[in-house]
Amino acid sequence: MSEALELEPLLENFVASWQTHGTPVKGYANLLFGQFIVIMADETAAGLSGCSTDSSVRLIKQVEETFKIDLFNRQNLAFMVKDKIQLLPLAQLQYGFDNGFLTADTLYFNNLVANKAEMIEKWLIPIKESWLATRIKQSVS
């Protein structure tokens, strides 16, 4: 909780000063479930540039340094297990199924979503509806 309270002003300051080629970006940043940093930009007002994207990456790197965490490890997968978020390395996915830790209906945080609509509709989905279903050596339908 203390980390979340410390993170909140960093996210607020970032969004307040976020720019693309000198034009303010209408943005949103928040910590969801106490675990996921979500940063979004409304590109209808001003499209993002490489510089504005780079600044969001710098923010995440700053958070990593400040809190001594690894946010860029895409091999860590997040699941909702018994009403708690659990992380599991991709290499242990099959092990999780084989030992009953995961099932086809376990909710998976699909961090491949690319926009707000996908986030609303496809961020938290059962494993059987995700790309992970093809990685399991048993039927997940």
Give residue 12's identity as a one-letter amino acid code. E
Tens digits of residue pLDDT in 112-125:
998 899 999 999 99
Q: According to the model, what pLDDT value does residue 46 have?
A: 67
Q: pLDDT grade, residue 1 (50/70/90)?
A: confident
Mean pLDDT, rounded, for 53-76: 91
Structure pTM?
0.83
115-127 per-residue burial string, b: 16 or more CB within 10 A, e: under 16: eeeebeeebbeeb
User: CB neighbours of 71 closer than 8 A, spacing ≥ 6?
Assistant: 37, 60, 63, 64
Neighbours of 93 (CB within 10 A): 19
Q: pLDDT grade, residue 131 (50/70/90)?
A: very high
Contact assessment for residue 87 and residue 78, using Cβ atoms and an 8 Å cutoff: yes
DSSP class per residue in 74-91 = TTEEEEEETTEEEEEEGG
User: In this structure, what DSSP letter does residue 37 have?
Assistant: E
Using the predicted structure, report yes or no on whether residue 139 has a pLDDT greater than 70: no
Q: According to the model, what pLDDT value does residue 11 have?
A: 95
Please state, in angstroms and rounded to a whole number, the distance separating the CA atoms of residues 136 and 68. 32
Please state, in angstroms and rounded to a whole number, the distance separating the CA atoms of residues 49 and 39. 15
Tens digits of residue pLDDT in 3-45:
888 899 999 999 999 988 888 888 999 999 988 999 998 877 7
Per domain, the residue ranges of the chain are 2-67, 76-135
Mean pLDDT, rounded, for 63-67: 92
Mean pLDDT, rounded, for 56-60: 92
Please state, in angstroms and rounded to a whole number, the distance separating the CA atoms of residues 81 and 86. 6
